[in-house]
Amino acid sequence: MQGLDFDRLQPIGMTPAQAQSLAALCFTPTGIDRTPARVIEVHRETLVLHDGAAPFTARPHPRLLLDLASARDALAVGDWVACERDVQGTPWVVARAAPLTQIVRRDADGLRHVVVSNVDVAFLVMGLDADFNPRRIERYLALVQGASGGALAPVVELTKSDWAGDAVADDEADALRARLGP
């Protein structure tokens, strides 16, 4: 992996495929070594990143933001990025590795909004209390299955069975299984 500390990055989700694309961003022909990191929080003007050892705060470089905006894309939790430090030591996100998977939703104005990138499993959690809605689970499943060609594995988790009682919980789970299939 050309010097990427794969053992340090693997616990935060690095795969061999992602390591190859990230290595190309981190080791430039000019000799500038960039720090590989994963986005764990997105705020308005800053990002919280994790480099496999500890979290740290960085800002996205304006050039990167412009490039992503022109492609109608944005940074999201789960993205793998390359960081450089300026002369004051401030970290800047200067590049993003192409995501392998993304969950994307449409905003009210019809534009794409990336919810999360580079995840393998999506847990869809719903309580069996008064807020239980099988149609909502179907919409969430459609969102997950439409993400990156269905590369994500959805897991439906039903909670609060103690509120509903065992008989109602079993009936609701059976009805959901009949509606959704295996």
Estimate the share of the chain in helix, then strand, then coil, as percent rounded to the nearest 5.
Answer: 35, 30, 35
Q: What is the pLDDT of residue 92?
A: 96
Q: Could you report the per-residue pLDDT of 127-143, keeping only the tens digit for each?
A: 887 778 888 888 888 88
Instruction: Give pTM, 2 decimals.
Output: 0.82
How far apart, in Å, are the Cα atoms of 47 and each of 61, 75, 86, 149? Answer: 11, 9, 16, 28
| Pairwise CA distance, residues 140 & 136, whole Å | 6
Question: Taking all residues of the chain, what is their mean pLDDT, rounded to a whole number?
Answer: 86
pLDDT of 80: 96
The predicted-structure confidence for 151-163, as pLDDT tens digits, reads as follows 678 888 888 887 7
The H or E element that residue 56 is part of is strand 55-60
pLDDT band at residue 57 under the 50/70/90 scheme:
very high
Q: Are 159 and 126 in contact (CB under 8 A)?
A: yes
Q: What's the rounded Cα separation, in Å, for the pair 43 and 41?
A: 7
pLDDT band for position 61 (cuts 50, 70, 90): very high
pLDDT category of residue 180 using cuts at 50, 70 and 90: confident
